[in-house]
Amino acid sequence: MIKDLTVEEITQILNISDESPLPCNKGQWVQWLVSQANNPKLKIAGKVNETGRLIAYIVILDNVIPPLFDNIVTLHIWTTDHRDTHELAQVFTDWGRKIGAKRGLVSVPSDHTDKYMEIFGGKKIASVYEWRFD
Protein backbone atom coordinates (compact mmCIF):
# COMPACT_ATOMS: atom_id res chain seq x y z
CA MET A 1 0.00 0.00 0.00
CA ILE A 2 1.25 3.47 -0.88
CA LYS A 3 1.27 5.97 2.00
CA ASP A 4 2.73 9.32 2.97
CA LEU A 5 6.35 8.71 3.90
CA THR A 6 7.79 9.54 7.30
CA VAL A 7 11.09 11.39 7.62
CA GLU A 8 12.78 8.11 8.56
CA GLU A 9 11.42 6.42 5.42
CA ILE A 10 12.50 9.36 3.25
CA THR A 11 16.07 9.03 4.51
CA GLN A 12 16.18 5.49 3.09
CA ILE A 13 16.51 7.11 -0.34
CA LEU A 14 20.18 7.60 0.54
CA ASN A 15 20.61 3.81 0.42
CA ILE A 16 18.99 3.31 -2.98
CA SER A 17 21.48 2.32 -5.65
CA ASP A 18 19.44 3.89 -8.42
CA GLU A 19 20.94 5.74 -11.34
CA SER A 20 17.82 7.78 -12.15
CA PRO A 21 18.70 11.43 -12.62
CA LEU A 22 17.84 13.66 -9.69
CA PRO A 23 17.66 17.46 -9.83
CA CYS A 24 20.73 17.60 -7.53
CA ASN A 25 23.00 15.10 -5.78
CA LYS A 26 21.30 12.41 -3.69
CA GLY A 27 22.30 13.93 -0.33
CA GLN A 28 20.88 17.32 -1.29
CA TRP A 29 17.72 15.67 -2.64
CA VAL A 30 17.08 13.75 0.59
CA GLN A 31 17.88 16.80 2.73
CA TRP A 32 15.41 18.87 0.69
CA LEU A 33 12.70 16.18 0.89
CA VAL A 34 13.13 15.89 4.66
CA SER A 35 12.84 19.68 5.00
CA GLN A 36 9.63 19.57 2.93
CA ALA A 37 8.02 16.58 4.69
CA ASN A 38 5.20 18.73 6.12
CA ASN A 39 4.78 21.04 3.12
CA PRO A 40 1.12 20.84 2.00
CA LYS A 41 2.16 21.75 -1.57
CA LEU A 42 4.28 18.60 -1.84
CA LYS A 43 3.14 14.96 -1.75
CA ILE A 44 5.89 12.51 -0.77
CA ALA A 45 4.36 9.07 -0.89
CA GLY A 46 5.77 5.60 -1.17
CA LYS A 47 5.58 1.93 -0.42
CA VAL A 48 7.57 0.06 2.21
CA ASN A 49 7.74 -3.72 2.38
CA GLU A 50 7.01 -5.88 5.43
CA THR A 51 10.55 -5.32 6.76
CA GLY A 52 10.15 -1.53 6.53
CA ARG A 53 12.39 -1.12 3.45
CA LEU A 54 11.37 1.57 0.95
CA ILE A 55 10.54 -0.11 -2.39
CA ALA A 56 8.78 2.70 -4.32
CA TYR A 57 8.19 6.43 -4.02
CA ILE A 58 6.77 9.42 -5.83
CA VAL A 59 7.22 13.14 -5.19
CA ILE A 60 4.45 15.37 -6.54
CA LEU A 61 4.29 19.17 -6.58
CA ASP A 62 0.96 20.96 -6.22
CA ASN A 63 1.15 23.61 -8.93
CA VAL A 64 -2.53 24.57 -8.69
CA ILE A 65 -2.51 28.38 -8.56
CA PRO A 66 -5.78 29.66 -10.04
CA PRO A 67 -6.13 31.23 -12.52
CA LEU A 68 -2.50 30.83 -13.63
CA PHE A 69 -1.82 27.09 -13.28
CA ASP A 70 -4.05 24.05 -12.92
CA ASN A 71 -1.66 21.12 -12.72
CA ILE A 72 0.38 18.82 -10.52
CA VAL A 73 3.86 17.73 -11.53
CA THR A 74 5.95 14.74 -10.53
CA LEU A 75 9.40 15.70 -9.37
CA HIS A 76 10.56 12.09 -9.19
CA ILE A 77 9.28 8.51 -9.42
CA TRP A 78 11.26 5.44 -8.35
CA THR A 79 10.31 1.79 -7.89
CA THR A 80 12.01 -1.58 -7.59
CA ASP A 81 9.08 -3.30 -9.33
CA HIS A 82 7.11 -1.83 -12.23
CA ARG A 83 3.94 -3.43 -10.80
CA ASP A 84 3.97 -0.78 -8.06
CA THR A 85 3.56 1.83 -10.79
CA HIS A 86 -0.22 1.30 -10.78
CA GLU A 87 -0.40 2.23 -7.10
CA LEU A 88 1.84 5.27 -7.64
CA ALA A 89 -0.41 6.35 -10.51
CA GLN A 90 -3.46 6.04 -8.26
CA VAL A 91 -1.87 8.31 -5.62
CA PHE A 92 -1.01 10.79 -8.37
CA THR A 93 -4.56 10.81 -9.76
CA ASP A 94 -6.33 10.84 -6.38
CA TRP A 95 -4.24 13.69 -4.99
CA GLY A 96 -4.61 15.70 -8.20
CA ARG A 97 -8.38 15.43 -8.06
CA LYS A 98 -8.45 16.16 -4.31
CA ILE A 99 -6.59 19.46 -4.70
CA GLY A 100 -8.52 20.54 -7.81
CA ALA A 101 -5.88 19.98 -10.48
CA LYS A 102 -7.12 19.85 -14.06
CA ARG A 103 -3.94 18.25 -15.40
CA GLY A 104 -1.06 16.15 -14.16
CA LEU A 105 2.37 15.99 -15.74
CA VAL A 106 4.88 13.15 -15.36
CA SER A 107 8.33 13.45 -16.90
CA VAL A 108 9.56 10.17 -18.31
CA PRO A 109 12.70 9.10 -16.43
CA SER A 110 15.51 8.59 -18.91
CA ASP A 111 16.13 5.04 -17.73
CA HIS A 112 12.52 3.93 -18.20
CA THR A 113 11.04 2.85 -21.49
CA ASP A 114 7.84 4.34 -22.85
CA LYS A 115 6.17 0.95 -22.34
CA TYR A 116 7.02 1.09 -18.62
CA MET A 117 5.60 4.60 -18.29
CA GLU A 118 2.46 3.62 -20.21
CA ILE A 119 1.62 1.46 -17.20
CA PHE A 120 1.31 4.78 -15.38
CA GLY A 121 -1.13 5.92 -18.08
CA GLY A 122 -1.67 9.32 -19.58
CA LYS A 123 -1.12 10.83 -22.99
CA LYS A 124 2.45 11.30 -24.11
CA ILE A 125 3.45 14.82 -25.10
CA ALA A 126 7.16 14.90 -26.06
CA SER A 127 8.93 13.35 -23.05
CA VAL A 128 6.08 14.14 -20.66
CA TYR A 129 2.87 12.23 -19.98
CA GLU A 130 -0.22 14.35 -19.31
CA TRP A 131 -3.46 13.51 -17.52
CA ARG A 132 -6.71 15.46 -17.66
CA PHE A 133 -8.70 15.28 -14.45
CA ASP A 134 -11.91 16.94 -15.74
In order along its 134 residues, the chain shows pLDDT tens digits of 889 999 999 999 998 876 667 778 889 999 999 999 999 999 999 999 999 899 999 999 999 998 998 999 988 888 888 778 888 888 999 999 999 999 888 765 555 555 555 665 655 555 566 667 66
Residues 6+ apart with CB under 8 A from 80: 55, 56
CB neighbours of residue 111 within 10 Å: 10
Number of folded domains in the chain?
Answer: 1
- Return the closest-CA partner of residue 77 out of 69, 68, 67, 87: 87
Residue 66 is part of which domain span?
Answer: 3-132
Across the beta sheet with 3-4, the strand order is: 3-4, 42-48, 54-65, 69-79, 103-107, 128-132, 123-125
3-state secondary structure of 99: coil
User: What's residue 51's pLDDT?
Assistant: 92
pTM, two decimals, is 0.81
User: What's residue 122's pLDDT?
Assistant: 59
Q: What CATH number does residue 91 fall under?
A: 3.40.630.30
- Give CA–CA dist 127/134, Å, rounded: 22
